Amino acid sequence: MKTRLFMMLAAVLLSIGAMAQSENNYALGNFDHVVTQPAPGGNTADGGPQAVSNIRSVAGVPLVRLNNGVMMPRFGLGTQVQSMENASMRQQLNETVRGMVIAALQSGYRHLDDAMFYYNERGTGWGIKESGIPREQIWVTSKISGNLADAQNAFNGMLQRLQVDYIDLVYIHHPAGTLQDILACWRVMEAEYKAGRIRALGISNFDNRMEAFNYIMDNAEIKPQMAQIECHPLAQRTDARELYANNYDIQVECWYPLNHNRTDPNNTTIQQIAQAHGRTVYQIILRWHMQEGLCPVPGSTNAAHIAENINIFDFELTDEEMAAIRAIDRGDAGRSFNLQYGNWGFGNFQDYNYNHTFTPAYLTGDVNFDGEINIGDVTGLIDFLLSDVRMAPVPADVNEDGETNIGDVTALIDILLRS
């Protein structure tokens, strides 16, 4: 045991400098939209609560400048866990999402996609607090749904459940309800945007109700920065993407980018490309999204899969491979969700409890959050030091010197040798 630990430490000392400085030749550069919309916080002297935001590229994830000048990470974690959304499972759901968020932030994610009707915002909020990553370095998204006429109370509730004083991006989740109620919700979002409690405004699933989209575009004082749609290789949504991105310079974000909901993505084309690169089909799909200029937000409850999904910035797909993936598009037949909206509502939100006590496990040396200190924590800490995430504020400061460095590895090994 001792020999293995010291060999591991020696390997880290020899490799940390070289690997930490290695260049990523396949990184995707940031790109910009034309800034046509006013910046958030315009009704305040100092920009409001959102003025502290400090979004930057971590783990190779590129940023996009939205049409209001705000920078957003183009890759994120989807937090919905549909299998646990039953009212009797709120505690388990939020505890699961708390762990997902911690795992994602430790893996370099800085973009979290949530919604009030996911019933997990409390777990997301605790995950942010316990990750060790400052809130201002995290892009937090949520979505208003249900009674749109009560949007102000909905937004206030989102802040409270997430334990934040601003939200980076707020969507209208579904274009369900009267056009007047949809616009009333948008007016609340615009007011909070001007107050600096929202940084960007978005519409989700509005391509399924064009009268609602047109009504927003005709009447909004502040036009949308983001549009979220179902999009993946089997339903590439070219018409919707052209509508938003080409006609209105709205950035497109993709929910269910791996199409977990219905069709197995392991078709022959993607399998062959994955084999050629020594990657999983999921990594190929996510890399395709990134090279298409999209913003995917894949979800997983598995920490290893969460880390795998973001590990897509050290290879690239060729033009021929991108064309081959574009050729498997099934159009609307490939969609998993194609609801036709109208004036009817989308249900009422029922608040819930999540009983949790703040327990920052990383302070004890439990780097991989498995409830104990073992060799997995050493390898987890080594992975952290060898990745781009090492530049972020520290989630694994074992020796409590204010940063994560090789001293934390030796401190953790000391703990193991004494145990």
Q: For each of the chain's 419 residues, which pLDDT tens digit applies?
A: 555 554 445 444 444 443 444 445 677 888 899 999 999 999 999 999 999 999 999 999 999 999 999 999 999 999 999 999 999 999 999 999 999 999 999 999 999 999 999 999 999 999 999 998 999 999 999 999 999 999 999 999 999 999 999 999 999 999 999 999 999 999 999 999 999 999 999 999 999 999 999 999 999 999 999 999 999 999 999 999 999 999 999 999 999 999 864 555 558 899 999 999 999 999 999 999 999 999 999 999 999 999 999 999 999 999 999 999 999 999 999 998 899 999 998 889 999 999 987 655 444 456 665 556 677 777 777 766 665 443 333 345 565 555 566 776 776 676 666 65
Domains and CATH numbers, the chain: 2-26+363-418 (no CATH), 33-334 (3.20.20.100)
Reference 295, options 30, 15, 51; nearest CA is 30
Helix, strand, coil content of the chain in percent (nearest 5): 45, 10, 45
Exposure string for 352-361, b = 16+ CB within 10 A, e = fewer = eebebeeeeb
Q: How far is CA 46 from the centre of its chain?
A: 27
3-state secondary structure of 117: helix
Reference 265, options 245, 247, 289; nearest CA is 289
Q: For 375, what's the count of Cα atoms within 13 Å in the CB-facing half-sphere?
A: 9
Please tell me the distance from the alpha carbon of residue 115 to that of residue 405, in angstroms, as a whole number.
Answer: 36
Contacts of residue 64, Cβ cutoff 8 Å, sequence gap at least 6:
30, 31, 32, 33, 71, 72, 74, 251, 295
Concerning whether 244 is annotated as a catalytic residue, the answer is no
- Length of the chain as a residue count: 419
Please tell me the distance from the alpha carbon of residue 334 to that of residue 170, in angstroms, as a whole number.
Answer: 27
Given 109, 118, 119, 244, which residue is catalytic? 118
What DSSP element (H or E) covers 3?
helix 2-20
